[in-house]
Structure 1
Amino acid sequence: MNDLIFAGPAGVAILCAYAVVMLGIGWYAGRGNTGGTARGYFTAGGGLGMVTLFFTLYATQYSGNSVVGYAPQAYRSGFAWWQSVPFMIAVIAVYLLFAPRLYVLAKQKGFVTPTDFVRDRFGSTRLSLLTIALMLWGLGNYVLEQLVAMGHGVAGLTGETIPYEVGVVGFIVVMLAYSWTGGMRAIAMTDVMQGIAMLVGIGALLVGTMYLTGGIGTLTTYLAETSPELVGVPEKSDAVNWLAMIIMIGFGAAVYPHAIQRVYSARSERTLKRSLALMAWMPLLTTGVVFLVGLAGLQLFPGLGTEESEQLVGLIANEVAATNLVFYILMILLFGGIVCAIVSTADSAVLSFASVIAGDLYGRYIAPDAPDRRKVLVGKLVSVAMVFVLLLLAWNPPGTLYSIFVLKFELIVQLAPVFILGLYWKRMAAGPTFWGMLTGAVVAGGATLVDAGPFFGVPAGLVGLAANVAICVAGSLLVSPRSAPAEPART
């Protein structure tokens, strides 16, 4: 692998250049002293405009999974992995279902952490604590996934000139430096750079890959002749699993804590809706493109094992870069954009983790009278400690990126009823909601621990969600309703 185009000093120089730019943007964003208030640090004071909000949503949603991890999954699964496109579309559909309404309520009441809504809506300490526990689990899992993606991305794109471990540690330091100084504003501003680089680079990667393989028609013919099992009609159980994953990921990704905090960070409801309208096109322009690139890898690099295929994007990018100078420059853009977008997803999760620690645990139960500056500092310190604990796990990652990706959704999707039903159904009660969420988490987590499921193609997380909703709805119909928040005024 040492003959790859980005191996050696060239790859190191590209990564260093991107790191310097990210640090510069973080320093610039931090000049306004966003750490003065918790709302300023964690949600940019609710002042993100349409372009910045769009790119921070984009760079967060499309990161290590959708580029470094999804192409290898397409390589291993074939046409069945087209499901990655509709489940990204489902995420946007769920956003549009609840995000504008939640934004208006958050603006009126000054919400900072995702749990602020749960506390305001239900007034239940145990429900709030269970929500916090699931959020912290999901965020920790999410950061772990991105740390693994950082290592694979850097190692693959430099031909292992920069080893997996060095890549992880180096970009952790960069991420913590700029997010520490600038908070949400710094993260969102770096996301603009990362999102543009990734969009342009992915487009160039598709063009270069189709050039190398002879086009989609030639690629399809090749796959039909050499790997017919990858292009055939999926089995019934696979089709059921496809639909189940679309539902689970659609609801799960939309209620991630850092996704909800981006809803809080919008400048206006109109800004939020316009950003989400643009996001609706991104599954085809990003996940669809990566799907095709993964299939092309079967022709360009046949016979890769599971571990080898995890570096597929780096292998293909280097082949495309070797074509001519233009593609080389564009692959530089992609190269840095992929790694930086992985970092952008990690920093968003770390920031959200810090906000939950600072606002929901320390600021509410340990030191309610502490000033905002101390709360923010505590959140920063605890989140940094969390990152380095997860680093020990990333040193020996517990499976492929996709297996890690599925694991976190099994539990985080249990938050969907409290946010979505809680916004629209006034009769929804705290007690049944708590027991429903707990039951769903136990079912999903227990099945994962004993390695059970999927059940007839349905993942354990969705089985748990069904139990969650059933208990929540039936129980709420049997108890006296608690008054829901007043209908928010539109902006």
Structure 2
Amino acid sequence: MISFFIIIYLLITLGIGFWASKRIKTSNDFTLAGKNLSTSFVAITLFATWFGSSQIMGNPGYFIKDGFSSYVTLILSGSICLFIVGWFYARKLYRMNLVTINDFFRIRYNKKLELTSSILMILAYPHWIAAQFVALAYLFNAVIGIPIEYGIFLGALIVVFYTYIGGMWAVAYTDMVQSIMILLGLNIVLIEVLSKTGGILPIFENKPTEFFYLVPTGGIDEWSDYIALLLAFIIGAIPVQEIYQRVFSAKSERSARNGLFLGAILLVIITSIPLIIGLGGVYLYPELLKDGNNQDIIPSLVNTMTSIPIQILFYGALISAILSTSSGAMLAPATVIGENLIKPYANKISDKRLLLYTRLSVILVALASCYFAYDDTDIIRLVEASLSLILVCLFAPFTFGLFWKKANTHGAWAAIIIGGLTWLFCYIFNSRIDPTIYGTIMSCTSMLLGSMLSFKKAKLKNDALLNIK
């Protein structure tokens, strides 16, 4: 019965995507929804894109084990990132009339840096998307009994079709429907759990004092992981394309900024619900922790203690979360491929042909994502890996280039090369301190020194862009 309703829900979702696809006439419609998204649509698509498999299947396990220190790294970090982008980045970038942030690298630096940043951006996304494919595979395995390896392929096939036909318009409309499903499904499960635990207080009563600390209580290894996660989810997410794809799709600068702020609030409130559900679940059924797979706690809980109608709503919410994240994450690198790797180098390419190539890029991204999904099935680590490369290579030239007049091409190359090589070297030799920390420090330092040492010889390009207020 649950399988039947899941199939019906998937068909409805795909139907909405197909209906929305009728609004796509140009490549701009496909990538930026014709720059017509309101504040609410911007907020919902931002929330839906970042509320995915890790929030429902990954985060609860970490919260149960690590307590409120993981709440800071896994929940608050994403909202902090959106607030930072809203306050400091959105206004300047929206006024530049960009399609991707890699356009900024071309305008601020040169075409070679646009090309390099585009390749790095594309390489980072398959890990993120792979995390969603893994989550769909776990879902299909729990509900229908499909083996994980086949579930990954099936999930990829569904998401590819859904993204290919609809583009940003389909993402926006289906995200709105899916967000309603997420809220409805999670809140019903939350009420069911709290009614059996006797409220929220009992599930926290016997926790050790360390559970409530906002920072790690262990040694250097725990602090290293803590700082690395904060860097990845706050700073590393600042230059990612899926944020600015929604910012640039807004109908006005005000809609873009307010959408970021509202999305940040939604992210904090709604992502806290699965944590409470998971904690209440192991309070009622401690055996849920015994199999060692903390990513399966909430689905196992729902199967154990809820009725069929509630299970249908929950799995509808879970599917919604994964599909919305997958489609948004898949559209971002496909847009970069079309706008920054194909369009500048294809002589007099028509808009119709560009739209086709961007759609085909969705398939290419999906194939790469499947490879990583089969290679690593830890959802949180897949997401962290996707942000590390962007953090150690692109954050410094992106941020310094936007806010510092002396930033130049020499500094940008130094940040990308030295930051990336430092991260790779530390990763290969398994440094005790997380490689992301070393890479970020070296990238920012190289950006500063490289720009300062070459300042007298370098000519600042497009200086007027930096005077935008």
Same fold (TM > 0.5): yes
Which of structure 1's runs of 4+ aligned residues deviate more than 6 A?
Answer: none
2:35 and 2:248 in contact (8 A); partners too: yes
Secondary structure of residue in 1 paired with 2:293: helix
1:82 matched residue in structure 2? 71
Q: How does 1:276-425 map to 2 (within 5 A)?
A: 276-303=260-287, 304=289, 308-322=293-307, 329-365=309-345, 367-394=346-373, 396-414=374-392, 415-425=394-404
Counterpart of 1:140, as a letter, is: P
1:477 to 452, 461, 464: 452
CA deviation digits over 1:232-273, x for unaligned, max 9?
A: 772253356434532331111232122221111111111112
Structure-2 change in CA distance of 1:306 and 1:473 (3 Å): farther
1:79 and 1:231 in contact (8 A); partners too: yes
1:410 and 1:462 in contact (8 A); partners too: no
2:253 matched residue in structure 1? 269
Q: How does 1:157-176 map to 2 (within 5 A)?
A: 158=143, 160-176=144-160
Structure-2 change in CA distance of 1:76 and 1:155 (3 Å): farther
Secondary structure of residue in 2 paired with 1:310: helix
State the Cα RMSD in Å: 2.5
Provide structure 2 residue ranges, at least 5 long, that are not aligned to the other structure.
Answer: none
1:38 and 1:112 in contact (8 A); partners too: no
1:106 matched residue in structure 2? 96
Counterpart of 1:210, as a letter, is: L
Q: Separation in 1 of the partners of 2:371 and 2:407?
A: 41
Q: Separation in 2 of the partners of 1:348 and 1:419?
A: 22
2:397 and 2:447 in contact (8 A); partners too: no
Q: Separation in 1 of the partners of 2:358 and 2:20?
A: 19
Q: Separation in 2 of the partners of 1:372 and 1:145?
A: 32
Structure-2 change in CA distance of 1:418 and 1:213 (3 Å): same
Report deviation, 1:330.
Answer: 4.8
Counterpart of 1:434, as a letter, is: W
Identity %, equivalent residues? 24
CA deviation digits over 1:126-153, x for unaligned, max 9?
A: x222211220111111111111111123
1:45 matched residue in structure 2? 34
Counterpart of 1:390, as a letter, is: S
Report deviation, 1:91.
Answer: 1.5
Report deviation, 1:188.
Answer: 1.3
Counterpart of 1:82, as a letter, is: Y
Report deviation, 1:220.
Answer: 2.0
Q: Separation in 2 of the partners of 1:229 and 1:477?
A: 45
Q: Separation in 1 of the partners of 2:322 and 2:153?
A: 13
Q: Separation in 1 of the partners of 2:167 and 2:53?
A: 21
Report deviation, 1:329.
Answer: 4.0
Q: Separation in 2 of the partners of 1:379 and 1:412?
A: 22
Report deviation, 1:348.
Answer: 1.5
2:86 and 2:260 in contact (8 A); partners too: yes
Counterpart of 1:143, as a letter, is: I
Counterpart of 1:12, as a letter, is: S
Structure-2 change in CA distance of 1:114 and 1:258 (3 Å): same
Counterpart of 2:405, as a letter, is: K
Q: How does 1:440-451 map to 2 (within 5 A)?
A: 440-451=419-430
| TM-score w.r.t. length of structure 1 | 0.86
Secondary structure of residue in 2 paired with 1:280: helix
2:43 and 2:261 in contact (8 A); partners too: no
Counterpart of 2:293, as a letter, is: E
Q: Separation in 2 of the partners of 1:397 and 1:336?
A: 27
Matched, 1:128 2:114: yes
2:104 matched residue in structure 1? 117
2:248 and 2:256 in contact (8 A); partners too: no
Q: Separation in 1 of the partners of 2:292 and 2:427?
A: 23
Report deviation, 1:448.
Answer: 2.5
Report deviation, 1:450.
Answer: 3.1
